Amino acid sequence: MKILVINGPNLNLLGLREPALYGSKNFAALQEFILTAAKDLGLEVELFQSNHEGCIVDAIQEAYNRYDGILINPAAYTHTSVAILDALKAVALPCVEVHLTDISTREKFRQFSYVSLYAEHTICGQGFEGYRQGLEYLKENYDKQ
């Protein structure tokens, strides 16, 4: 099973970025964590990060027929992007949404997620571990083998 893992804007600044909220480990450590979790679960993953909404839309479109599922942390675009929601609906791949922090207890503007209108499962507030749980969910629910 092949999963595309998408990380949105500013996640490349993990470690530097508001460490009290997002932790002190950097983005390379997150990527390493995801690759290790995927290997343990016997999943193939490709990692994609962009600070640009259109690039994320392109990556989702290009996932059609190439991946069996998408794990996405849309970061700030979670709360604003109808374009990312529409792209997910268009390719209609199994999708899990993940957030490092618990967006339901943060500022009001973070409490609504466009991506949740499509994603069938959302994991919040588990830090890096949420990515492992998201991969596990996709494997348990969609691995045809």
Residues in contact with ligand DQA by CB under 6 A are 10, 73, 75-76, 78, 99-101, 103, 110
Dihedral sign, Cα of residue 60, residue 28, residue 130, residue 144: positive
Residue 37 CB coordination number (10 Å): 20
Q: Which is nearer to ligand DQA, 45 or 100 (CB)?
A: 100
Q: Which is nearer to ligand DQA, 36 or 105 (CB)?
A: 105
Question: Measured from the CB of residue 6, what is the shortest distance to ligand DQA in angstroms?
Answer: 11
Annotation marks residue 22 as catalytic: yes
What are phi and psi for residue 123, nearest 5 degrees?
-120, 125
Of 67, 77, 99, 131, which one is the catalytic site residue? 99
Q: Which is nearer to ligand DQA, 51 or 91 (CB)?
A: 51
User: Residue 130 carries which side chain, given as an amino acid letter?
Assistant: G
Question: Measured from the CB of residue 74, what is the shortest distance to ligand DQA in angstroms?
Answer: 7
Chain-centre distance for alpha carbon 44? 15
Closest residue to ligand DQA: CB criterion:
75
Q: How many helices (H) and strands (E) does the chain have?
A: 5, 5
Tokens coding 68: 């069996």
Annotation marks residue 79 as catalytic: no
Which positions are annotated as active-site residues? 22, 99
